[in-house]
Amino acid sequence: MKIIVIGGTGLIGSKTVTKLLASGVQAQAASRSSGVDTTTGRGLTELFAGASVVVDVSNSPTFDGAGALEFFETSTRNLLRAEAEAGVQHHVALSVVGTERLSGSGYMPAKFAQERLIKENSIPYSIVHATQFFESIQKLAGLATDGTTVHAPPVLVQPIAGDDVATMLCNVSVGAPLNATIEIAGPDQYRADELARRRLMARHDLRKVVPDPRARFFGAEVDERSLLPGPDARISQTRFEAWLSQSVERAYGTLRPPEAGSGTRVAGSETWM
Ligand SMILES: NC(=O)c1ccc[n+]([C@@H]2O[C@H](COP(=O)([O-])OP(=O)(O)OC[C@H]3O[C@@H](n4cnc5c(N)ncnc54)[C@H](OP(=O)(O)O)[C@@H]3O)[C@@H](O)[C@H]2O)c1
């Protein structure tokens, strides 16, 4: 089985390729830095020769609505066309929990359009909807910064470790196509403002995080539960506190104790790792 990981140099892609190779699977990363461009189709025909599975974890260089839509529609069409010509049997894509209900955002409808193209195509597929990555919390805080103040909506989030996302993508990509969307999330729920505050504090980032009910998420108005997965979501094991301690240790060389946890354990969650 040869698996091509589009966006294989990115946050999730690089972890996925490493895990697949460690499991003895023939995996190959592809992105513009390796001469493959999904927006033009450059390099796809040669890349897909002999491949049975394509995992798409690429991301748009721009998050504005029109730019992101252009990226995901053009890329997905090019990928699916080249996959059909090469006889690829399984297309796996990573998307975001809530794409179908965050229509006020510019970025989420672009991801929704990507998913629609995949579902309408004849190539068997699996779509994995993940919640926000632990690694992305700081970037998300950056998107909402006004001077030295970060405005975050005080809504519930259930973030997940990038490593756990990659593990799930590996499991899905070596299995039979689901022809469905599954959701994955971390074990604990937080208020988005609380989570951003903890992440910034751990990095000695002095910006102030304020709960702001008018703050948007990628441009979308969100309510208390808009960003949460449904009851059938698969729940991973890595806790934010453990990940934060390790990431602080990697950054500063010392292990600082995490603050007392205030995340809520999700009752009755299925553990998939
Ligand atoms: N951040 C979150 O919290 C979150 C939550 C759920 C789902 N997701 C989804 O997860 C996916 C992966 O996110 P990520 O953070 O791992 O992305 P990332 O780190 O930004 O990586 C993006 C990858 O896409 C590649 N790429 C960009 N343009 C390309 C092009 N034209 N042709 C080929 N490759 C291209 C990049 O490599 P080059 O620059 O070398 O081309 C890179 O390898 C995204 O689709 C996102 O929607 C994110």
Contact 169, 92 (CB under 8 A): yes
Average pLDDT over residues 92-117: 96
pLDDT at 31 over 50: yes
Q: Which of 65, 132, 63, 128 is nearest to 91 (CA)?
A: 128
pLDDT at 272: 40
Q: Ligand 1 centre and the CA of 114: distance in Å?
A: 13
Residue of minimum CA distance from atom 41 in ligand 1: 32
Residue of minimum CA distance from atom 34 in ligand 1: 31
Q: Ligand 1 centre and the CA of 141: distance in Å?
A: 18
Average pLDDT over residues 1-6: 98
Is the Cβ atom of 29 under 6 angstroms away from ligand 1? Answer: no
pLDDT at 116 over 50: yes
pLDDT at 144 over 50: yes
pLDDT at 267 over 80: no
pLDDT at 175: 98
- CA angle in degrees (0–180, nearest 5) for 234-97-135: 85
160-194 pLDDT tens trace? 999 999 999 999 999 999 999 999 999 999 999 99
Tokens of 15: 């972890």
Is the Cβ atom of 59 under 6 angstroms away from ligand 1? Answer: yes
Average pLDDT over residues 44-69: 97
pLDDT at 253: 62
CA separation for the pair 75, 41 (Å, rounded): 8
Average pLDDT over residues 245-263: 57
Average pLDDT over residues 95-99: 97
